[in-house]
Amino acid sequence: MLVARGLTRRFGMITAVDAVDLDLAPGDAVGLIGPNGAGKSTLLSLLAGDAPPDAGSFVLDGRSIAHLPLHARVRAGIARAAQIPQTFARLTLRENALLPAQHGARLPARAAQLWADEVLALCGLADKAGSMAGALGLLDRKRLELAKAVAARPRVLLLDEVAAGLTEPEIATIKALVDKLRDGRAVVWVEHIPFALRGTCARLVVMDKGAKLLDGPFDEVWSHPDLQRIYMGVADGRAA
Ligand SMILES: Nc1ncnc2c1ncn2[C@@H]1O[C@H](COP(=O)(O)OP(=O)(O)OP(=O)(O)O)[C@@H](O)[C@H]1O
Ligand SMILES: [Mg+2]
């Protein structure tokens, strides 16, 4: 479904993403891990369309989309929940979810409203649907960021640290949501918390210094000696 080849992004002297290849099939749930600064968020930005790649190609359902801008990417079927939530503070939660339901999923008005409300409920925000997004605390802002991405009904759903700062029961809710959403689409989930990815992501990709180092079945990658090596020197001395 998605084939990325040689994706590269530089910031001055730093190669944040260095010739990364990635293949995704419908139903794939891929955990993406790596130390701080490994290039995970930048890779998601390249896929989501925030920034054009300096090199590389990227095809979704047979269509080259590497140079499509953000809004066209969402319509093409790629949506991301960003590490720093990008919600519209002066809109209600319902309005925030309605925009991607209409313009991303391209649902007609009534269906979009129903879907927006359903997604807010799935993300545990039903009781706040009429509140202003600007009034939310961090956890609910993260949930809303997730809801907005899901509301677009993407073919590829990119999640950047949506579980950071959540409690285990809250993370379990998100895992159940991701499981529910996986049918017919692919999920790439960046997270430092192993509990969030284990069981939900059958596949694990490891990045370090911009490059993709490992890509395979979760348990195989998790126990790979190279994983221990790249995390050496990390404060708590273990992976993620
Ligand atoms: N807009 C930018 N301008 C300059 N450098 C950047 C920019 N965005 C990212 N970088 C650099 O690119 C590298 C990769 O950063 P990125 O945010 O993708 O890492 P990450 O794996 O998401 O890290 P974290 O786990 O801390 O979120 C880092 O060296 C970072 O400082
Ligand atoms: Mg990041």
89 C-alpha to ligand 2 centroid (Å): 22
The rounded Å distance from CA 48 to ligand 2 centre is 14
The rounded Å distance from CA 39 to ligand 1 centre is 6
Do residues 159 and 40 share a domain? yes
> Do residue 120 and residue 190 come from a single domain?
no
Q: How far is the CA of 146 from the centre of ligand 1 (A)?
A: 21
Counting ligand 1 atoms within 8 A of each CB, the residue from 7, 33, 40 with the most, and so the one to mutate, is: 40
* pLDDT in the model for residue 207: 97
Structure confidence at residue 179 (pLDDT)? 86
**Structure-block tokens of residue 162:** 């949506």
Where in the sequence is the domain holding 11, given as residue range(s)?
Answer: 1-77+155-240
Decide which of 123, 153, 183 is a domain's last residue: 153
pLDDT of residue 233: 54
Q: What is the DSSP string of 5-66?
A: EEEEEEETTEEEEEEEEEEE-TT-EEEEE-STTSSHHHHHHHHHTSS--SEEEEEETTEE-T
Are 206 and 113 part of one and the same domain? no
Instruction: Indicate if 116 and 72 belong to the same structural domain.
Output: no
Give the closest residue (by CA) to ligand 1 atom 2: 11
* Domain final residue pick, 153, 186, 207: 153
User: Total domain count for the chain?
Assistant: 2
pLDDT of the chain, 240 residues: tens digit per residue: 999 999 999 999 999 999 999 999 999 999 999 999 999 999 999 999 888 899 999 999 999 988 888 888 888 899 999 888 888 999 999 999 999 999 999 999 999 999 999 999 988 899 999 999 999 998 899 899 999 999 999 999 999 999 988 889 888 888 988 888 788 899 999 999 989 999 999 999 999 999 999 999 999 999 999 998 888 755 444 444
41 and 129 within one domain: no
64 and 160: one domain?
yes
For residues 79 and 157, the answer to whether their CB atoms sit within 8 Å is yes
Are 9 and 128 members of one domain? no
Q: Residues with beta carbon inside 6 Å of ligand 1?
A: 11, 14, 16, 34, 36-42, 83
Let me know whether 71 and 166 are in one domain. Answer: yes
